Each structure stands twice: as C-alpha cells, then as structure tokens.
C-alpha cells in the first residue's frame, strides 16, 4: 500500500506519526472532544437454574466474562445438586462438621439471622421439604401428608452450628437449600466487583436485580415488578432507582397445577405446603441483595399484614402485591420511586 504514495507524502506522514506518538514536540490545542458515549456490553448466561442477564455501560472488555466466571464459581460452591459443592458436602455430612468456603459460612450466618428475625418464615433448612416437590422438572411430584409431616421437625435454622475456622455442623437428617438467598448474595458480589468499573450496570439473576450508576443519558433505572396474573414480561409497576437491589419473589415463578390446585415453590416452614398467604409477590428494595432475597421470600410466607408490620419494625422498604391485586408500599427513604402502570391505588 505505502508504495502507492509519493515519498514526500510518506515523509510528512512519518513526521506526523512521530509528533503524535512521541509527544515531546509542542502540541496544538486539542479540538474539543465529542461527549463520549460509554460502550454498552450485554450478555445472557444460565446459572443456578435461572437466566442471568447483564448490561454494562462503560465497562472494560472482558468484564462480562468475569461475571460469568463468578457465577460459575458460586454455582459450584452453593448448588445443592452439584456433587462436591459446599452445600452438597454439608447435606451429606450426617452430623459431622464440614469445613466450607468463608463465603458459604457467611451466607449461612446471615441466613440463620434472617430466619430468626422472620420467626422462621425464612428457613434454609426447608431443604428436606423442597426436595419432595418438583416445581421445575414437570413431574408434578409432591409429598404425601405422611412424608411432609415427618420432614417438618427437620426444618430449624437455629440448629445450624457455625463453628470456628469456617466449619458448619448440621444435625443428621437435616439439609439446607440456599435457593432463597444465594442469588442475592451473588448479585451483591458481582455488583461489588463492578462498582467503579462501569458507569452503569443492570444485573439480573432470576428475580434479583441490581442496578448501579446511570444510563448514558444520565437517567436512573426502571425495574419492573411483574403482574402476578399477567405472565412473564407483563409489568404492573416499576421501581425507579439506582445503586440498589430490587428483589421480587412471586408465587407465579415456579409452579404446577394438579387436580385444579396450583402449587408454587415458596413453602411455609410451618406445614411444608406452598404458602397460602394472601401475597402473590413481594419486592424488596435494599442495598443488600442477599437480605432482599431472603426477606422477599419470608414476606410471601408471612402474608401482607405480618409482612407490613415486620417491614415497619425493621425499616425494610418494598412493595407487596396481594392475590386480589392490592398494592402496599413501605418506604422510608427517597432511594426509589414506585410508579404504577395499572390503575391500582398504592396503600
């Protein structure tokens, strides 16, 4: 190519290159730069039996891959069904202490705390019961009353012993299922990793959303709250916020119908049956996605009255939607704004 240019032009080009690259010669004043639009990168992954999506503004190349690597690492640590995971080893320990990753230990510490705080409505030791139901595989498996009642005494998060040096001891017969809290923890950790690395982030792990920074146009984010009666993609309300997690638990997420009865995946630890409270969904807005995840699950079990009282007592912010489409909000800060897309009063 260069052969086509006359040698004088090549000389000028070389001189220019030296000026630009060398940087030691006097520089002309730089022309005003057009406002740079941060690069947008988005991707979809599948971890923890759920769809994970990430949209990043202004993040360096390779950031999406870092996110997937983190999801993969956490899945291998926290999945109940991956042999050799921390949770698998705890569940097979038959009462003997197991040394786990400090992160697993920390999740269990907080899970136990939230279980106590919610009067047992949230319980990771629900595992023996969740194992008796199949809400995802299409087999419509459910326990007999006898099986269900026999498993109930195994549900008690206060029995999890968290020892020194990251040891966990679980009484024989008991098992744990982090399905109601792990995605929140992972969302927190991924969000932490992205802070300062991207100018805007929308991260979603199933129902767990974390938003950071701003969109390139300077606005904050609208996180949708699904219409419990409308199917996936139908939005009943939006939460406008940033630097917050918005976590929704809903009885419409994973379910099956048998003999005219709908069975969904949030179990009441009191009887081991899908919660029959008046709530169809609970959305919690918080800086901690782990807390929001566990608390949203707990609120469904508690029902609107108890959940609202609990939220007021503990200063927890969020939105509850009942099966008969009443909407309740508890808000103590200006960190978010709830906008209804349907003509339903917010109570």
Show the 3-state SS of 78-127: HCCCCCCCHHHHHHCCCCCCEECCHHHHHHHHHHHHHHHHCCCCCCHHHH
Nearer Cβ to ligand ADP (128/200): 128
Q: Which helix (H) or strand (E) holds 187?
A: helix 182-194
- Establish if 157 lies at the interface with ligand ADP (CB under 6 A): no
The residue among 41 and 265 lying less far from Mg ion, judged by its C-beta, is 265
Among 58, 128, 200, 206, indicate the residue that binds ligand ADP (CB under 6 A).
206
120 binds, among Mg ion, ligand ADP, none (CB under 5 to 8 A by kind): none
Q: Which of 277, 293, 299, 321 binds Mg ion (CB under 5 A)?
A: 293
Element (H, E) at 276: none
CB 45 within 8 A of CB 71: yes
Residue count at the site for Mg ion (CB under 5 A)? Answer: 5
Would you tell me how many other CB atoms lie within 10 Å of the CB of residue 303?
19
Residue whose CB is less far from ligand ADP, 63 or 289 = 289
What distance lies between CA 230 and its chain's CA centroid?
Answer: 22
Tokens of 212: 């950071």
Q: d(Cα 198, Cα 319) in Å, to the nearest integer? A: 28
Instruction: Give me the torsion for CA of 86, 51, 288, 111, rounded to 10°.
Output: -30
Residue 245 binds to ligand ADP (criterion: CB under 6 A): no
Binding mask 83-122 for ligand ADP (x = CB under 6 A): ---------------------------------------x
Query: Does 75 contact Mg ion by CB under 5 A?
Result: no
Number of neighbouring beta carbons within 10 Å of residue 47: 20
Q: State both tokens at 194.
A: 């992205």
Residues 168-187 that bind Mg ion (CB under 5 A): 180
Query: Judged by CB under 6 A, does residue 128 bind ligand ADP?
Result: no
Q: What are the C-alpha distances in Å from 176 to residues 111, 181, 306, 318?
A: 11, 11, 25, 27
Q: Does 301 bind ligand ADP (CB under 6 A)?
A: yes
Query: Which of 41, 170, 176, 180 is close enough to bind ligand ADP by CB under 6 A?
Result: 180
Which of 67, 114, 123, 284 contacts ligand ADP by CB under 6 A?
Answer: 123
Q: Pattern 136-175, binding to Mg ion, x per CB under 5 A?
A: ----------------------------------------
Contacting range for ligand ADP; rule: CB under 6 A; set: 163-171, 264-272, 314-322, 324-332: 264-272
Segment lying near ligand ADP (by CB under 6 A), choices 13-21, 87-95, 177-185, 187-195: 177-185
Query: Hey, what are 98's tokens?
Result: 């197991």
Per rule CB under 6 A, count of chain residues that contact ligand ADP: 20
Within residues 270-299, the interface with ligand ADP by CB under 6 A covers 293, 297
Residue from 59, 90, 126, 316 touching ligand ADP (CB under 6 A): that is 126
CA 326 to chain centre: 25
- DSSP letters, 139-169, are S-----HHHHHHHGGG--GGG-EEETTTEEE
Give the nearer residue to Mg ion in terms of CB position, either 56 or 155: 155
DSSP 221: E
Half-sphere exposure of 95 (CA within 13 A, CB side): 4
CB of 153 to ligand ADP, least distance (A): 16
Point out which residues bind Mg ion (CB under 5 A). 180, 249, 293, 296-297
Point out which residues bind ligand ADP (CB under 6 A). 122-124, 126, 130, 177, 179-180, 206-207, 249, 253-254, 265-267, 269, 293, 297, 301
């Amino acid at each position: 190519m260069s052969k086509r240019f006359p040698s004088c032009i090549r000389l000028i080009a070389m001189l220019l290159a030296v000026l630009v690259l060398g940087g030691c010669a006097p520089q002309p004043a730089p022309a005003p730069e057009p406002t740079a639009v941060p690069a947008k990168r988005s991707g979809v992954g599948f971890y923890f039996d759920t769809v994970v999506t990430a949209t990043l503004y202004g993040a360096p190349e390779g950031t999406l891959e870092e996110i997937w690597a983190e999801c993969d690492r956490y899945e291998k640590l926290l999945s109940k069904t991956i042999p050799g995971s921390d949770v698998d080893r705890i569940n097979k320990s038959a009462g003997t202490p197991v040394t786990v990753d400090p992160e697993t230990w920390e999740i269990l510490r907080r899970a136990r705390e939230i279980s106590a705080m919610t009067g047992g409505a949230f319980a990771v030791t629900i595992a023996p019961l969740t194992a008796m139901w199949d809400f995802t595989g299409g087999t419509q498996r459910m326990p007999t009353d006898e099986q269900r009642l026999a498993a109930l005494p195994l549900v008690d998060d206060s029995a999890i012993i968290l020892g020194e040096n990251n040891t966990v001891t679980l009484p024989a017969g008991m098992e744990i299922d982090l399905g109601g809290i792990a995605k929140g923890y992972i969302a927190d950790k991924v969000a932490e990793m992205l802070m300062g690395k991207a100018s805007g982030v929308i991260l979603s792990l199933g129902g767990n959303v974390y938003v950071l920074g701003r969109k390139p146009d300077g606005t904050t984010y609208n996180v949708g709250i699904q219409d419990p009666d409308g199917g996936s993609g139908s939005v009943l309300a939006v939460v406008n916020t940033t630097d917050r997690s918005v976590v929704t638990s809903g009885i419409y997420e994973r379910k099956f119908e048998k003999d005219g009865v709908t069975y969904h995946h949030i179990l009441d630890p009191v009887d081991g049956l899908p919660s029959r409270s008046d709530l169809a969904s609970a959305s919690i807005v918080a800086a901690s996605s782990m807390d929001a995840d566990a608390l949203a699950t707990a609120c469904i079990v508690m029902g609107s009255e108890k959940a609202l009282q609990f939220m007021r007592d503990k200063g927890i912010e969020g939105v509850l939607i009942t099966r008969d489409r009443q909407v309740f909000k508890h808000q103590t800060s200006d960190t978010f704004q709830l906008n209804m897309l349907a003509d339903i009063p917010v109570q």
